[in-house]
A and B are shown apart, each in its own frame.
Chain A
């Protein structure tokens, strides 16, 4: 079974080598691909020098476009499973096996790693948790699927969802929206408890000034996604 880890990276050269080392130690049977999203720093040179496997996007596409490039790569090389992981060291590769277990067993097509099931490790700020609860509520309302950490970027999909994502993936703030997309296409969604670390490098893509825009855009996108034709 071919398994691919997709690591989107934008100006995160400093944490990449550590992350790849951790993956080769803790999860040696997984392939990985770094998606360099048109970084301004030395990400590209570093990847060439260290012989890391990476996609070099010639334009900055944003998180959605970068992750989708990973799925395009996964489809191109016929991977059975693809896992998304953040480039900043928030997600521990030790949880990979647990995350893909429902996919391997054929119990789900799409799994989300949630830090709010066992409430261990990094829990984020109270305000963010409130925002996440609101978005979880919308998902529950529209799909009746119970999700506790809909903004988690730690997720795994099987081959069917890989080809769906390679064709169609939201460009900005994609996480909550994709859950509804996946559900609309009739795929099964499961959450898996994980422990997340606080960011070692970099900042969240969602800063204070943008958070209001973020909530409005994502909420609207989810409702629209629900009413899209298949």
Chain B
């Protein structure tokens, strides 16, 4: 790999990691999810600094092309995150539903009390 390309990639990966840390510092993301992204970011950094490592691992796993190894695990990682996000959304939906229902029940009670107060006065 050309050393100019390598510097650019290392720079991009560093920016990615800094961005995650900044998001974390502003409390825009939970640690639970930030850790997963940081793990990915650090992995990218290691591979960007030592591209030979990629080749060594790929050969050890019996995968001919190092790029295939990278794509395979990258896609697996992204799919896993997508699935986790689906679970989180379902969880949030359940909570919103429960809240909406309970607000409606309390709203009904409030209206009933107001109308009975009106009758008394």
Contacts and interface: CB of A to CB of B under 8 A. Distances in A.
Nearest to B96: A59
B100 interface: yes
B107 A55 contact: yes
Nearest to A75: B105
A55 B97 contact: no
Contacts of B105: 55, 69, 72-73, 76
A122 interface: no
A58 B103 contact: yes
Contacts, number: 43
Nearest to A54: B108
A68 B108 CA distance: 15
A108 interface: no
B115 A51 contact: yes
Contacts of A35: 104
A56 B101 CA distance: 9
Interface string B98-121: 001111110110001001000000
Interface residues of B, number: 13
Contacts of A171: 93, 97
A208 B105 CA distance: 34
Contacts of B102: 72
A69 B108 CA distance: 12
A56 B111 CA distance: 11
Contacts of B100: 57-59, 61, 65, 69
> Which bucket holds chain A's interface residue count?
10 to 19
Contacts of A33: 108
Interface in B69-104: 93, 96-97, 100-104
Contacts of A59: 96, 100
A53 interface: yes
A51 B115 CA distance: 9
Interface in B26-85: none
Contacts of B103: 58
A69 B101 contact: yes
B89 to A, nearest CB: 13
A58 B103 CA distance: 8
Q: Interface centre among B101, B107, B108, by most A CB within 10 Å?
A: B101
A185 to B, nearest CB: 19
Interface string A34-62: 01000000000000000101111111010
Contacts of B97: 61, 65, 68, 171
A54 B93 CA distance: 23
Contacts of B115: 51
Contact of A53 (B93, B107, B108): B108
14 contacts: A55-B101, A55-B105, A55-B108, A57-B101, A58-B100, A58-B104, A61-B97, A65-B101, A68-B97, A69-B104, A69-B105, A72-B101, A73-B104, A171-B93
Interface of A: 33, 35, 51, 53-59, 61, 65, 68-69, 72-73, 76, 171
Given A55-B108, A56-B104, A61-B100, 11 more contacts: A53-B112, A55-B101, A55-B105, A58-B100, A65-B101, A68-B97, A68-B101, A69-B101, A69-B105, A73-B105, A76-B105
